[in-house]
Amino acid sequence: MNGYSTLLPVKLRDDARFNTVCIHAGQEPDPTTGAIVTPIYQTSTYVQDALGVHKGFEYGRTQNPTRSALEGNLAAIEHGKAAFAFASGMAATGAVMTLLQSGDHVVVTDNTYGGTYRLFERVLRKYQLDFSYVDTSDVEAIRAAITPKTKLLFLETPTNPVLRLTDLAAACEVAHARGVPVVVDNTFASPYVQRPIDFGADLVIHSTTKFLNGHSDSIGGVVVAVNDAHIEWLRFIQNAEGAILGPMDAWLVLRGTKTLPIRMERHNANAMILAETLAAHPKVARVHYPGLTTHPHHALARKQMRGFGGLISFELGSLERARTFLNSLQLMALAESLGGVETLISHPASMTHASVPPERRLQIGITEDMVRVSVGIEDIDDLKDDLAQALDRV
Ligand SMILES: *Cc1c(COP(=O)(O)O)cnc(C)c1O
């Protein structure tokens, strides 16, 4: 499906290819000056020509040209019909959940992002929404979890941090057979690696904070939709709740998506080499990376993904060994988040997943000795040197 040219007045051919779409979709030279880069329209309101006569822009929460450019760009990149940019990935997820009503039930990937789990369990349960967490890598488990009250299937693939995959085409088929729409949090893969709408998904969520922006300098989120009813509601809720992405951040993400394909090529290539290096190292107990033939979903990864992404997790045998390793790194930065040009490394049990109860952490495979790497686009030999010297100390 390709509706690029209908999104905005952009003279991009319908058959434009991915790199071209990333650079051009949603943007046209600034009509007043010809500036090739969409300006940051840092304004709260717009002067009207006369009573009831305006240029389509009335108030900055409702419309902003920089945000619109980004939304057109991201809709095209994800093969959707429209996109809505929010103040964070969590605000984007929160907006999608307003499609539901009290009493509705949602089937969720069991090791979904920790913040998503917190939103569902600590906030949305207060509004009588019900959630079942299942291993969505097993299509039969999805089928079994759907009830007449199920109104959404919420998928994340690959998952954080153990990188399990869900077969998107199979999951969408099962959900759609029961009239259940499918939303995919595609943050971990990025639309270079996989485009869920091509496999049947109805909605795609991103934390633009990660690969889409790619430079670790902005927090944001987006929802991409294809169905008119979803689009109408999301446009309404973006304005009604007002958790919009600001113009400066929209501009940063728009700059980021121009280089998404070349950044992802390098993320993919560097991560593959590091995963193989780690798997061959005697001090590493176990490596999780969909690109390794030992990964349980490797065949699915080959079918559904373009490259295997920039995230790796691995186990070092004990918390003490993981601590020594993390404290010995010189180049890789100890930090939460992912998807930036610089390599970030973290300890899921005490950092990103600290809010998840310990017994649940173990259920979803997050052990105390696990380390997660968001592989950046530095020179691979420098990354390998840093890993080697830190592993030497373990
Ligand atoms: C970071 C992240 C989020 C939340 O995004 P924010 O921009 O931090 O609000 C949601 N899902 C996944 C998979 C993430 O990695």
List, for residues 227-250, the tens digit of each pLDDT value. 999 999 999 999 999 999 999 999
Mapped onto helix, strand or coil, the DSSP state of residue 341 is: coil
Binding site membership of 188 for ligand 1 (Cβ less than 6 Å) = yes
Using the CB atoms, write b or e for 272-297: b if 16+ within 10 Å: bbbbebbbebeebeebbbbbbeebeb
Q: Residues 246, 324: one domain?
A: no
- Going by alpha carbons, the residue nearest to atom 15 of ligand 1 is 187
Whether 234 and 367 map to the same domain: the answer is: no
User: Could you identify the atom of ligand 1 that is nearest to the CA of residue 220?
Assistant: 7
251 and 274 in a common domain:
no
At 116-173, the pLDDT tens digits run 999 999 999 999 999 999 999 999 999 999 999 999 999 999 999 999 999 999 999 9
Using most ligand atoms within 8 A of CB, pick from 86, 88, 90, 118 the residue to mutate for ligand 1: 90
Determine the distance separating the centroid of ligand 1 and the alpha carbon of 262, expressed in angstroms.
22
Closest CA to 95 of 227, 247, 243: 243
Alpha carbons 364 and 345: distance in angstroms, whole number: 20
Among 203, 225, 258, residue at a domain's last position: 258
Range of the domain at 119: 18-258
Instruction: List, by residue number, the catalytic residues.
Output: 61, 113, 185, 210
C-alpha 306/C-alpha 384 separation (Å) is: 24
Q: What backbone torsions phi and psi does residue 261 show, to the nearest 5 degrees?
A: -60, -45
Check whether residue 273 and residue 367 sit in a common domain: yes
Domain stop point among 203, 223, 258: 258
DSSP-derived secondary structure letter, 84? E
Residue 3: pLDDT band with limits 50, 70, 90: very low
Q: Residue with structure tokens 């030497």?
A: 392
Q: Whose CA is nearest to atom 7 of ligand 1?
A: 89
Residue ending a domain, choose from 258, 273, 303: 258
Q: Are residues 187 and 290 in the same domain?
A: no
- Which of these, 213, 116, 214, 110, lies nearest to 162 by C-alpha position? 110
pTM: 0.96
Total count of domains within the chain? 2
Assess whether the C-beta atom of 206 lies below 6 angstroms from ligand 1: no
CA dist 321 and 160 (Å) reads 21
Q: Is residue 9 part of a domain?
A: no
Residue with tokens 């434009």: 16
**From ligand 1's centre to the CA of 89, what distance in Å?**
5
